[in-house]
């Protein structure tokens, strides 16, 4: 599984074992400068190990040390971010957080 984030500076792809940042090619022959099919690799990084191992280790460490970690805020942020993306897709325009929250 991987995620891709598109923005004015290029595209960032993240996965469990790496990240890659691609940027638009200067003087691209493509008509739309935002079309990232024509891109160059700007930066990449490899994870030392699969991130699920870190998550499981952190979970059990929290139990053993009696320091529970609440994922509620992160889960809420992730949910609202996906709703923001869906609303932007449906309306075919940029949408603000305030618009999203007012639409509920």
What residues make up the domain containing 85? Answer: 70-104
**Is 74 in the same domain as 89?**
yes
7-64: per-residue pLDDT in tens? 777 778 888 888 888 777 666 554 454 555 555 667 788 878 887 888 889 889 999 9
For residue 12, CA distances in Å to 7, 15, 22, 39, 71 come to 8, 10, 6, 11, 24
**Is 5 in the same domain as 51?**
yes
55-100: per-residue pLDDT in tens? 889 889 999 999 888 889 989 999 999 999 999 999 999 999 999 8
What's the structural domain count of the chain?
Answer: 2
**Is 45 in the same domain as 87?**
no
**pLDDT for residue 81:** 92
Q: Is 27 left (phi over 0), alpha (psi -120 to 50) or beta?
A: left
The per-residue b/e assignment along 13-36, b for 16 or more CB within 10 angstroms, e otherwise, is ebeeeeebbbbbeeeeeeeeeeeb
Claim: this prediction has a pTM higher than 0.85: no
Enumerate the β-bridge partners of residue 14: 3, 19
Could you give the strand order of the β-sheet that contains 10-15, starting from the edge strand earlier in sequence? 2-7, 10-15, 18-24, 39-46
**Is 63 in the same domain as 23?**
yes
**Is 58 in the same domain as 78?**
no
């Amino acid at each position: 599984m991987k995620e891709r984030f598109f923005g004015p500076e290029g595209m960032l792809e993240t996965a469990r074992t790496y990240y890659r940042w691609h940027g638009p090619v200067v003087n691209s022959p493509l008509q739309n400068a935002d079309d990232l099919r024509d891109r160059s690799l700007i930066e990449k990084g490899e994870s030392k190990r699969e991130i699920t191992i870190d998550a499981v280790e952190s979970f059990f460490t929290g139990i053993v040390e009696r320091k529970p970690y609440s994922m509620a805020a992160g889960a809420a942020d992730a949910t609202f971010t996906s709703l923001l993306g869906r609303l932007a897709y449906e309306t075919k325009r940029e949408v603000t957080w305030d618009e999203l929250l007012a639409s509920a």
